[in-house]
Structure 1
Amino acid sequence: MLAKAAKHAFSRPTTVLPRIRSCLVAESRRHARVISRSATTSTIQPASVDDTNLIAFFDYPQAPQNVTTPTGIFGHRALTTPAAFIALADSTLRRAQLLTERILRARESRDELFKVVKNLDRLSDMLCGVIDLAELLRNAHPDPAWVQSADDVYEKMCEFMNVLNTNVGLYEVLGVVLADHEIVKSLSPEAYQTALIFWRDFEKSGIHLPPAQRERFVSLSTEILVLGRQFLNETAAPRPPARIKFSELQGVKDLGMGARLRLQAQVTKRDLLVYPGSLQAQMIMRSAPAEEPRKKVYIASNSSTPEQIETLERLLRARGELARLVGKESYAHMTLTDKMAKSPENVQRFLDALMDHTRPYARRALRNLSMRKQAHLNTPPLPVIQPWDRDYYCPPEPPAPPVSLPPLTLGTVFMALSRLFKALYGISLHLSEPSPGEVWHSDVRKLEVVDEEQGVLGWIYADLFARSGKPGGAAHYTVRCSRRTDDDDEEGDFRHAEDSDRVLAELSTVFEAERRMRLPRQNVTFQLPVVVLLCEFLRPSIGRGPTVLEWHEVLTLFHEMGHAMHSMIGRTEYQNVSGTRCPTDFVELPSILMEHFLNSPAVLALFDRDGTHAIRQNGAHHEDPCRAIDTHTQILLAMLDQRYHSPDVLSSNFDSTRALAELSTTRGLIPYVPGTSWQTQFGHLFGYGATYYSYLFDRAIASRVWRVLFSDNPLDRQGGEHYKQTVLKHGGGKDPWVMVGSLLRSSVLSVGNADAMAEVGKWRIEDEVAYGGQG
Structure 2
Amino acid sequence: MLAKAAKHALSRPTSLLLRVPLRVFTRGQWDPRLVSRSATTSAIQPASVDDMNLIAFFDYPQPPQNVTNPTGIFGHRSLTTPAAFIALADSTLRRAQLLTARILRARESRDELFKVVKNLDRLSDMLCGVIDLAELLRNAHPDPAWVQSADEVYEKMCEFMNVLNTNVGLYEVLVSVLSDQEIVKSLCPEAYQTALIFWRDFEKSGIHLTPAQRERFVSLSTEILVLGRQFLNETAAPRPPARIKFSELQSVKDLGMGARLRLQAQVTKRELLVYPGSLQAQMIMRSAPDEEARKKVYMAANSSTSHQIETLERLLRARGELARLVGKESYAHMALADKMAKSPENVQHFLDALMDQTRLYARRALRNLSMRKQAHLKTSPFPIIQPWDRDYYCPPEPPAPPVPLPPLTLGTVFMALSRLFRALYGISLRLAEPAPGEAWHVDVRKLEVVDEEHGVLGWIYADLFARSGKPAGAAHYTVRCSRRTDDDDEEGDLMFADERDRTAVQLSRDFEVERQSRLPGQPLIFQLPVVVLLCEFMRPTVASGPTVLDWHEVLTLFHEMGHAMHSMIGRTEYHNVSGTRCATDFVELPSILMEHFLNSSSVLSLFQRDLEGEFCHTARPHEDPCRSIDTHTQILLAMLDQIYHSSAVLHAGFDSTAALETLSSDRGLIPYIPGTSWQTQFGHLFGYGATYYSYLFDRAIASRVWSKLFSEAPLNRDMGERLKQEVLRFGGGRDPWVMVGTLVDSADLTVGDTKAMAEVGRWRIEDEISMYGRH
Q: Same fold (TM over 0.5)?
A: yes
In the alignment, does 2:516 pair up with 1:516?
A: yes
Distance 2:6 2:163 in 1: 30
- Unmatched 5+ stretches in structure 1: 1-5
Match of 1:19 in 2: 15
CA contact (8 A) 2:241 2:273 kept: yes
The one-letter amino acid of 1:374's match is Q
Give secondary structure in 2 for the equivalent of 1:338. Answer: coil
User: Cα offset for 1:403?
Assistant: 1.0
User: Which residues of 2 match residues 331-410 of structure 1 at below 5 A?
Assistant: 331-410=331-410
The one-letter amino acid of 1:705's match is V
Distance 1:386 1:454 in 2: 58
Match of 2:293 in 1: 293
User: Cα offset for 1:62?
Assistant: 0.3
Question: CA RMSD, aligned part only?
Answer: 2.0
| Superimposed CA distance per residue, residues 511-537 of structure 1 (whole angstroms, 9 cap, x where no aligned partner) | 463522222554211110000000000
The one-letter amino acid of 1:644's match is Y
Number of residue equivalences = 767
**Are the structure 2 counterparts of residues 512 and 767 from structure 1 closer, same or farther at C-alpha, using a change threshold of 3 Å?**
closer
**Percent identity between the two aligned chains:** 80
In the alignment, does 2:52 pair up with 1:40?
A: no
Moved over 6 A (4+): 613-621
User: Cα offset for 1:675?
Assistant: 0.4
Deviating more after overlay: 583-592 vs 43-52 = 43-52
CA contact (8 A) 2:400 2:622 kept: no
User: Cα offset for 1:251?
Assistant: 1.1
Match of 1:232 in 2: 232
Distance 2:423 2:35 in 1: 22
Distance 1:621 1:169 in 2: 56
Match of 1:629 in 2: 629
Give secondary structure in 1 for the equivalent of 2:657. Answer: helix
**Are the structure 2 counterparts of residues 238 and 615 from structure 1 closer, same or farther at C-alpha, using a change threshold of 3 Å?**
farther
Match of 2:674 in 1: 674
Deviating more after overlay: 615-624 vs 162-171 = 615-624
User: Which residues of 2 match residues 519-558 of structure 1 at below 5 A?
Assistant: 519-558=519-558
The one-letter amino acid of 1:192's match is Y
User: Which residues of 2 match residues 178-577 of structure 1 at below 5 A?
Assistant: 178-509=178-509, 511=511, 513=513, 515-577=515-577
**Are the structure 2 counterparts of residues 143 and 637 from structure 1 closer, same or farther at C-alpha, using a change threshold of 3 Å?**
same
Distance 1:431 1:595 in 2: 24
**Are the structure 2 counterparts of residues 27 and 490 from structure 1 closer, same or farther at C-alpha, using a change threshold of 3 Å?**
closer
CA contact (8 A) 1:8 1:25 kept: no
**Are the structure 2 counterparts of residues 284 and 256 from structure 1 closer, same or farther at C-alpha, using a change threshold of 3 Å?**
same
Distance 1:362 1:158 in 2: 46
Match of 2:82 in 1: 82
User: Cα offset for 1:617?
Assistant: 6.8
**Are the structure 2 counterparts of residues 622 and 531 from structure 1 closer, same or farther at C-alpha, using a change threshold of 3 Å?**
closer
User: Cα offset for 1:766?
Assistant: 2.6
User: Cα offset for 1:691?
Assistant: 0.1
Distance 2:753 2:245 in 1: 56
Distance 1:681 1:689 in 2: 14
CA contact (8 A) 2:3 2:774 kept: no
**Are the structure 2 counterparts of residues 37 and 330 from structure 1 closer, same or farther at C-alpha, using a change threshold of 3 Å?**
farther
**Are the structure 2 counterparts of residues 263 and 163 from structure 1 closer, same or farther at C-alpha, using a change threshold of 3 Å?**
same
Give secondary structure in 1 for the equivalent of 2:769. Answer: coil
User: Cα offset for 1:619?
Assistant: 11
User: Cα offset for 1:31?
Assistant: 14
Give secondary structure in 2 for the equivalent of 1:240. Answer: coil
The one-letter amino acid of 1:722's match is R
Distance 2:171 2:500 in 1: 29
**Are the structure 2 counterparts of residues 496 and 620 from structure 1 closer, same or farther at C-alpha, using a change threshold of 3 Å?**
closer
The one-letter amino acid of 1:381's match is P
| Superimposed CA distance per residue, residues 543-594 of structure 1 (whole angstroms, 9 cap, x where no aligned partner) | 1000000000000000000000000000110000000000000000000000
Distance 1:541 1:616 in 2: 36
The one-letter amino acid of 2:36's match is T
User: Cα offset for 1:337?
Assistant: 0.2
**Are the structure 2 counterparts of residues 560 and 427 from structure 1 closer, same or farther at C-alpha, using a change threshold of 3 Å?**
same
In the alignment, does 2:728 pair up with 1:728?
A: yes
Give secondary structure in 2 for the equivalent of 1:625. Answer: coil
| Superimposed CA distance per residue, residues 254-276 of structure 1 (whole angstroms, 9 cap, x where no aligned partner) | 11100000000000000000000
| Superimposed CA distance per residue, residues 150-197 of structure 1 (whole angstroms, 9 cap, x where no aligned partner) | 011000000000011111000000000000011001000100000000
In the alignment, does 2:714 pair up with 1:692?
A: no
User: Cα offset for 1:700?
Assistant: 0.2
**Are the structure 2 counterparts of residues 7 and 26 from structure 1 closer, same or farther at C-alpha, using a change threshold of 3 Å?**
closer
Give secondary structure in 2 for the equivalent of 1:365. Answer: helix
Distance 2:395 2:510 in 1: 50
CA contact (8 A) 2:621 2:769 kept: no
Match of 1:111 in 2: 111
Give secondary structure in 2 for the equivalent of 1:12. Answer: helix
CA contact (8 A) 2:350 2:757 kept: yes
Give secondary structure in 1 for the equivalent of 2:408. Answer: coil
Distance 2:766 2:684 in 1: 23
Give secondary structure in 2 for the equivalent of 1:541. Answer: coil
**Are the structure 2 counterparts of residues 774 and 717 from structure 1 closer, same or farther at C-alpha, using a change threshold of 3 Å?**
same
CA contact (8 A) 1:7 1:478 kept: no
Distance 2:256 2:618 in 1: 28
Distance 2:8 2:445 in 1: 26
The one-letter amino acid of 2:515's match is R
Match of 1:766 in 2: 766
Distance 2:498 2:509 in 1: 18
* TM-score normalised according to structure 1 size: 0.96
Give secondary structure in 1 for the equivalent of 2:266. Answer: helix
Distance 1:722 1:193 in 2: 22
User: Cα offset for 1:772?
Assistant: 2.7
Distance 1:646 1:66 in 2: 57
The one-letter amino acid of 2:746's match is S
User: Cα offset for 1:615?
Assistant: 6.3
Distance 1:566 1:232 in 2: 29
- Unmatched 5+ stretches in structure 2: none
Match of 1:657 in 2: 657
Match of 1:162 in 2: 162
Distance 1:9 1:225 in 2: 17
The one-letter amino acid of 1:469's match is G
Match of 1:3 in 2: none
CA contact (8 A) 1:336 1:344 kept: yes
Match of 1:607 in 2: 607
CA contact (8 A) 1:13 1:687 kept: no
CA contact (8 A) 2:23 2:477 kept: no
Distance 1:535 1:277 in 2: 22
| Superimposed CA distance per residue, residues 738-759 of structure 1 (whole angstroms, 9 cap, x where no aligned partner) | 1111111111110000000000
CA contact (8 A) 2:33 2:614 kept: no
CA contact (8 A) 2:362 2:626 kept: yes
| Superimposed CA distance per residue, residues 391-442 of structure 1 (whole angstroms, 9 cap, x where no aligned partner) | 0000011111111222210000000000000000000000001111100000
Distance 2:88 2:64 in 1: 27
CA contact (8 A) 2:19 2:576 kept: no
User: Cα offset for 1:250?
Assistant: 1.4
**Are the structure 2 counterparts of residues 23 and 78 from structure 1 closer, same or farther at C-alpha, using a change threshold of 3 Å?**
farther
| Superimposed CA distance per residue, residues 197-254 of structure 1 (whole angstroms, 9 cap, x where no aligned partner) | 0000000111000110010000000000000000000000000000000000011111
The one-letter amino acid of 1:142's match is P
CA contact (8 A) 2:593 2:703 kept: yes
Distance 2:620 2:21 in 1: 43
CA contact (8 A) 1:405 1:615 kept: no
| Superimposed CA distance per residue, residues 599-651 of structure 1 (whole angstroms, 9 cap, x where no aligned partner) | 00000000001225886779998621100000000000000000000000000
